Chains A and B, each alone.
Chain A
Amino acid sequence: MRRAAAAATEPLGAGVRSPRPSRAFGRGLAALAAFALAAAGRPALAGESDRAGAAGTGGASPAAPPAGATLEGSAELSTYADTDNVTVITPTARAGMRDDAEGWRLGARYLVDVVSAASVDIVSTASSRWREVRHVAGVDGEYGPGDLRGAASASVSVEPDYLSLSGGLSPSWKIDDDHVTLAVAYALGHDTIGRADTPFSVFHRTLVRHQMAAGASFVLSPSSILWLGGDAVLERGDQSKPYRYVPMFDAATTERVPRGAHVALVNALRRDERPLEQLPTARDRYAVTGRWLHRSSWATLRLEERLYTDTWGQLATTTEGRYAMDLSERLTLAPDVRLHVQSAAGFWRRVPTVSETAAGVVIPTLRTGDRELGPLATVTVGADVRLALGPRVAATRMALVFRLVGIHTSFLDALFITSRSAVFSAVGFEGAFQ
C-alpha cells in the first residue's frame, strides 16, 4: 500500500498579494472554515505553496497585484510504462480561484489512475494480468491577511480494495522583513485496507498516519533562496499487502538463489509454505530537506537534497537538480536529473528461510517480498517544455506543458528482476482568466 501523489500544478504567473485585511478577513475565514469541514488536495507547507516563490519567500512582484479574482484551470494526461509490464494512465483536472490582492485561494482537483499490471510478482503467483482504477478528489485553499498565512486541504482516494482519507493544516509566518518564512504543517490520514471483491465489513485493516513538517525559507540574496525543513510521519496499523505471498526457503538452499533469480528457479527451490507478507505494525519516518534556488537573468537553478531514515531501518538519500531556461518570452526548457539510493529495511531478506524445530516449522515473524523495501538505486532523467500561448502578463493566460522522463532502477538484492526501466510522459494545459 502506498503513498499517493501530491498534486500541485504550478499556476501561470503568480503575482504577489498586497492584502487588504479588513475586506479579506471575513471571506478568508469562511474559506478556511469550509475547508476544515469539507477538505482535499495537497496541503503543502504554506511556505512551499505555488505562491511561495514570491510570497512565501518574501519576494515581491515587480508588477502591481491584479485587481479582482482570477479563475484557474489545468489538466494533465500522463502515461507510465515499464519493463516489468506495468502501465498507468492518469488524467488529472484542477480548477480554482484566487485573489492575490486580497490574499486568498481556493482549489479542487480530481484524478483517475488506470493501472494495468502483469509484473513478475503477479506472474510468480500464477495470476493473470490485473487492472484497477483509482479515483482521487481533493480541495485546498489558502488565506493570509498579512505576515501570517494559513493553508488547509483534504483529499480522498478510492479504489476497490483501498480507501484513504486525509486532511491537514499548514500555517506560515513571514518574519525579518520578509527575509525569512517559517512554516509548519500537520495532516492526519486514515486508510482502510481491504481485499478486492470483499466488503470492508468482512475484511479490512486500518492504517493511521500523523504527518508533521516544519521548515523555513531564507532570502539569501536578490537572486537566491534557501529552504531547510524536516518532516516526520508516524504510521500505525498493519500495512501488509493482503495479496503478497512470500516464498520460503531452507537455509541450505540460500546459496543457490542468486540476485534476480528467475521465477522458475524460485519455484523449484522454495518450500511449500508461502505465507502472506507480514510487516511491522508501526513505522516512524523522518527526513530532512535542503533546497537552494538561484535565479539568473534567464534561468533558474534548483538543487535539492533529502536525507531519510525510519524505524524499519531504511536509510535513503535523494538528490535532485533542475535547470529551467527561458529560451524566449514564451518558451521554457527545464531539464532535470534525480538520484535516489536507499538501503534495505532491517527485516528484508532476499531469500527468507524457515527453521525447523521439534515443534514444527518456524516462519519468520516479519517477512516481505516488496522489493521497494530492499536496497535499490534509481536514476531519473527528464525534461519539460512549457509553451505560453500568450503574453506572460495578460488578463487571459494559457500554456501547454510537455514532460518526458526516463527512469532506471537497479534492485541490488531482490528476487525475480535486477533492474527496471520506465518511461513517463505527460502533456498538460494551464489557463488563468482574470
Chain B
Amino acid sequence: MTMRVAIALVLVCAGCTRVAPHQRSRLAHPSMTQTSSAGPGEQHVRAVQEGAVGGSLDATSGCGCN
C-alpha cells in the first residue's frame, strides 16, 4: 500500500512543471482555494441529508428529524 502511494505521488510530481514565484499570480487568486464554496448552513444541510458523509472535523449535532 505504501509503495502504491509513493508511486502515485511520483507520477503526480512527474506531471508537474517548475513554476517560479513570479509565475504564480493565478495560483494566488482567491478563487483557487481548496475550501468548499458551501457556507455553514449549506454544509449542515448536506450533513443531515446524506448518510455517507463524515470527516468534517467539526462539532456535530442532532439530526433535525424526529
Q: Which A residues fall within an 8 A CB radius of B? A: 1-14, 16, 40-45, 47-54, 56-62, 76, 78, 80, 86, 88, 90, 92, 109, 111, 113, 115, 117, 119, 121-122, 125, 127, 130, 132, 134, 136, 138, 153, 155-157, 159, 161-162, 164-166, 168, 170, 176-180, 185, 187, 189, 191, 193, 209, 211, 213, 216-223, 225-228, 231-233, 241, 243-244, 285, 287, 291, 293, 295-296, 300, 302, 308, 310, 314-316, 318, 322, 324, 332, 334, 336, 340, 342, 345, 370, 372-374, 376, 378, 384, 403, 405, 407, 409, 422, 424, 426, 428
Known contacts A52-B35, A53-B30, A345-B51; decide if A4 and B61 are in contact (CB<8 Å).
Answer: yes
Contacting pair A166 B64 (CB below 8 A): no
- Judged by a CB distance under 8 angstroms, whether B9 is at the interface is yes
Q: A5-B56, A157-B59, A233-B54 are in contact. List 8 more A-B contacts (CB 8 A).
A: A3-B47, A5-B43, A42-B56, A43-B58, A57-B34, A222-B24, A293-B32, A370-B65
Known contacts A227-B34, A300-B29; decide if A426 and B39 are in contact (CB<8 Å).
Answer: yes
**Across the interface, which residues of B come within 8 angstroms of A117, CB to CB?**
64-66
Contacting pair B45 A159 (CB below 8 A): no
The 4 closest A-B CB pairs, nearest first, are A78-B41, A5-B44, A316-B52, A59-B27
**Across the interface, which residues of A come within 8 angstroms of B3, CB to CB?**
none
Contacting pair B64 A115 (CB below 8 A): yes
Q: Which of B21, B33, B50 is the one whose CB lies under 8 Å from A378?
A: B50
**Across the interface, which residues of B come within 8 angstroms of A244, CB to CB?**
65-66
Contacting pair B19 A6 (CB below 8 A): no
Q: Which of A5, A10, A170 is the one whose CB lies under 8 Å from B41?
A: A5
A62 to B25: give the CA distance in the assembly, Å: 5
Interface size on B, residues (CB 8 A): 54
Q: B8, B9, B21, B24: which has the most chain A beta carbons within 10 Å?
A: B24
- Judged by a CB distance under 8 angstroms, whether B26 is at the interface is yes
**Across the interface, which residues of A come within 8 angstroms of B59, CB to CB?**
4, 40, 136, 138, 155-157, 164-166, 189
A61 to B30: give the CA distance in the assembly, Å: 10
Shortest CB-to-CB span from A46 to chain B, Å, is 10
Shortest CB-to-CB span from A71 to chain B, Å, is 18
**Across the interface, which residues of B come within 8 angstroms of A315, CB to CB?**
52
Q: Which of A40, A122, A136, A373 is the one whose CB lies under 8 Å from B66?
A: A122
A318 to B49: give the CA distance in the assembly, Å: 13
A193 to B37: give the CA distance in the assembly, Å: 30
A285 to B56: give the CA distance in the assembly, Å: 12
Which single residue of chain A is at the shortest CB-CB distance from B9?
Answer: A216
Known contacts A403-B39, A426-B42; decide if A166 and B60 are in contact (CB<8 Å).
Answer: yes
Which single residue of chain A is at the shortest CB-CB distance from B55?
Answer: A231
